[in-house]
Chains A and B, each alone.
Chain A
Amino acid sequence: MRIVVEDLSKRFGATQALRSVSLEIAPGKVHSLVGENGAGKSTLGKIVAGVYSPDSGKLLVDGQEVSFQSPFDSLKKSISLIAQEISLVPKRTVVENVYLGIEDATFSWVNRRKLKERFAELCETSGIFVPGDKLVAELKISEQQKVEILRALARDTKCIIMDEPTARLSAEESSKLLDVIRGLTKQGRSVVYVSHFLNEVLEISDQITIMRDGQLVRTSTPDQETHTSLVEAMTGKSFGSSFPSKQISEIDEKPVLEVKNLYSRNRFTDISMKVKAGEILVLTGLVGSGRSEVLRAIFGADKFDSGEVFLEGKKLNLTGPNEAIKAGIIMLSESRRDQGILALRSVRENISIPYLSHLSKLGLINRRKESDFSTKYTVETGVRAASNEVRISSLSGGNQQKALFARALAGNPKLLIADEPTRGVDVASKRAIYDLLASHSGKGMGILVVSSELEEVVGIAHRVLVMSAGKIVKELTGSEITESSVLAASFEGMDTLNGN
């Protein structure tokens, strides 16, 4: 199926999301859309999938002009969208989810055996295997995504639009997904791939369309582009490098954080590590290896069974995050939306919330003081917002994350813990966040980061600890830190474990 987009424009309120964009999606090809947050790539994907209807312009499917009023219409034309957020029914089985709404049914009696047979056939032909009897809730996110793909295929989809499919996947799972995508194109299906991960884009695409501010910058092929050329086209600026230079000389030998033999049943075991002042220590490994759990335990967000945590040599017995913050540890959690921002509140309130005791007298908040306080840190972290009084949820992902950094840095912590600090963040904000990490480590803050992005691990870490199945399996320092060594260590751990 060939999809042609001609002069498509779309406006949301005061924002022009798309300005006369034209492109062609060829059958059997992977067509990537890249751009910063707000560049219009998701909007374009959603128009093709019938989620939005365009203000002007044409959409042609196999030469025929179509006008989709809903995703249902586009589905009838064999186009489906797999959104960033998984949209499955968690408490139902894989098979039920795949055939939801298109069951073989006689008088609404669902023929389960027949469904199962069809499902097995579908797995066979697509080459995507997921246990059909399992509940979706029991699956890993990467497997849930496969279910979404199977669901699209069960409806005989010819074109699948994927919006940031690997944003929540580990490196290993991402590479498996790319294999699945290659399989799809071999069957003549086209894939529209919306992603922030430029290395993946360069690896998987047949065509790449770069967007900026709702406009199409250019469409080209991967051999004509490099990581740098993409970033420059997306941002309209040239960056020397995606990462600030590492300042290693400043590292103090005295540890800010020392963890001894931390153990939590079913989560992690025998975790010992030190974070020195002025050091950025990155904890990595496959998703599910227990990295986030370790961070949460150090921060007092979860209890652990045994082991000790010391901050600047003093033993901590935290009963909750409030005590961690008081002691000088601040954590940015993995999921900005679920565990980070207070979506309904203003930027100002989001930043000041942990420090209201210092900004109030007898429980009454000093508004003036609070406002100055928040502004000081939004300026420092470069949050771009109409004002600090707007709801934080109205900001772009990158600016929300910068605001959360403002919240964290406002406490001037001894130890900053950041779980996936740049997830879902645009390129320019990423660089700003790396700069913040580098400059604060330069001032002697201890920084502990969890990251799944190999590029990022290599780009920012002074030292890397690789976790696998709840244990630290490898330590890498200095020039040992490369994408391949990190990846190798992540898998080695798995192998030795399986060997046992």
Chain B
Amino acid sequence: MVIKKMNSRILNRDVIRKFAIIWVTALVFVGLSATTHNFLTVTNLRNILDQQAFILIVAAFTTLVLISGGFDVSLGAIYVMGPIVAMRVEHATHSTGLMLLAASAVGLICGVFNGLVVAFGKINSFIATLASSFIFFGLGYVFSGQGILTISNFSERKLVTHRIFGITSATWMAVLAIAIVWILLDRTKYGRFVFAIGGNIEAARLAGIRVRQIQIITFALAGFGASFAGTLAAIRATSVQASDDLSVIFAVVAAIIVGGTSIAGGAGSIWRTVIGVFFNAFIINGFYLNGIDPVFQRVIEGVVILLAVGADAFGGSSSD
């Protein structure tokens, strides 16, 4: 009886810690709803959702990389370089389908390149992708001819802005990406292997997992996600240029880490990433609605990330 009672108490503490980010995000949501005019409106929430669609797609696939124990800095460069190539293809063929196909192909090729370097070059993935991000970034300039590329047919924007049940098609694609990654992680052999190599790469190899294959697939999926999402974002913005913001990868990694997926690999989940993205989105939205200088946003965001990582380190939830 006593033991049972104690167990339930321990369980409760674990539950609180395990789902901490949910409670905190809910708290932010409730707090903003109560204090900030215009936060809890259909338009505002819809806006948040639509703004986060592209980040969510990148973050979903990047989650795989982090759980596998890797890191991919080059996704920021792929997010810009992919749409440049896709736009070139669109200009040449006037085909939306071929544009998206090109976006996918570029992402996969870049990702496979990263995966090969990490798997066979035995180079730390952070360093390898830091190097490759320079390559992709440079190629972006080459392919764009250093100019701004604009979509030739503005009706193409419908592809991302068309609303189904009040939500944009871009958001629906994000939902699809999340569902795909969830199934991959939770239901498939591949997902098991991703967790295994992230947790202990040598033990995984000795258990018969083809580690390199899994690494290459993982980087390829992340490259695909970044290039595809980047292209959707470019279509929405109607243009892309090589000097566009590469920092999307930082927002993505920040969201994943805030969600509680371990940067050390081997632990994490897609719902954490989704919550992490919305946590950041609510905070930024709150600043915006309260008219706080965007300069402070960055500072506060940084503090929040530190807190999240610190909580992970002290909570020790992912160790042993």
Contact = CB atoms under 8 A, between A and B. Distances in A.
A292 to B, nearest CB: 12
Given A14-B3, A14-B10, A344 B267 contact: yes
B140 interface: no
B44 to A, nearest CB: 39
B122 interface: no
A115 interface: no
B110 to A, nearest CB: 24
A89 interface: no
B207 A353 contact: yes
B192 A353 contact: yes
B24 interface: no
Nearest to B264: A344
Contact of A322 (B200, B202, B210): B210
B204 interface: yes
Interface in B169-197: 183, 187-190, 192-193, 195-196
Given A353-B192, A360-B188, A340 B203 contact: yes
A345 interface: yes
A364 B188 contact: yes
A322 B189 contact: no
Contact of B200 (A320, A342, A363): A342
A100 interface: no
A338 B3 CA distance: 33
B92 interface: no
A365 interface: yes
A256 interface: no
A331 B183 CA distance: 31
Contacts of A354: 207-209
Interface residues of A, number: 31
A266 interface: no
B208 A325 contact: yes
B318 interface: yes
Given A325-B208, A343-B320, A349-B192, A13 B203 contact: no
Given A13-B6, A342-B199, A356 B210 contact: no
A305 to B, nearest CB: 20
Contact of B192 (A325, A326, A338, A356): A356
Contacts of B164: none
B196 A345 contact: yes
A339 B206 contact: yes
B209 A353 contact: yes
A331 B199 contact: no
Best-surrounded residue of A331, A339, A342, A354 (most CB of chain B within 10 A): A342
A356 B266 CA distance: 18
Contacts of B158: none
A342 B69 CA distance: 13
Contact of A338 (B187, B196, B202, B209): B202
A344 B193 CA distance: 13
A322 B205 CA distance: 8
B208 A301 contact: no
Interface string A109-151: 0000000000000000000000000000000000000000000
A301 B6 contact: no
A333 B206 CA distance: 8
Interface residues of B, number: 28
Contact of B189 (A333, A339, A365, A393): A365
A407 interface: yes
Contacts of A13: 6, 10
Nearest to A355: B208
Contacts of B247: none
B195 A339 contact: no
A228 interface: no
A116 to B, nearest CB: 36
B7 interface: yes
Interface string B146-167: 0000000000000000000000
A393 B318 CA distance: 12
Contacts of B267: 344
A393 B320 contact: yes
Contacts of B189: 356-357, 360, 363-365
B266 A322 contact: no
B192 A322 contact: no
A326 to B, nearest CB: 8
Contacts of B318: 344
A341 interface: yes
A364 B195 contact: no
A393 B199 CA distance: 12
Contact of A343 (B188, B193, B199, B210): B199
Contacts of A356: 189, 192
B199 A407 contact: no
Contact of B187 (A14, A324, A340, A365): A365
B188 A365 contact: yes
A71 interface: no
B210 A344 contact: no
A222 interface: no
A339 to B, nearest CB: 5
A244 interface: no
Contacts of B183: 364
B190 A338 contact: no
Nearest to A332: B206
Nearest to A336: B203
B206 A331 contact: yes
Contacts of A333: 203, 206
A343 B200 contact: yes
A321 interface: yes
Best-surrounded residue of A321, A341, A360, A393 (most CB of chain B within 10 A): A321
A349 B188 CA distance: 12
Interface string A296-327: 00010100000000000000000011101110
Contacts of B205: 301, 320-321
B266 A344 contact: yes
Contacts of A341: 200, 203
A339 B208 contact: no
Contacts of B266: 342, 344
Contacts of B188: 360, 363-365
Given A338-B202, A393-B320, A14 B7 contact: yes
Given A339-B206, A360-B188, 8 more contacts: A14-B7, A301-B205, A343-B199, A343-B320, A356-B192, A360-B189, A364-B188, A365-B188
9 contacts: A321-B207, A322-B208, A326-B208, A331-B206, A342-B200, A353-B196, A357-B189, A363-B190, A365-B189
Interface of B: 3, 6-7, 10, 183, 187-190, 192-193, 195-196, 199-200, 202-210, 266-267, 318, 320
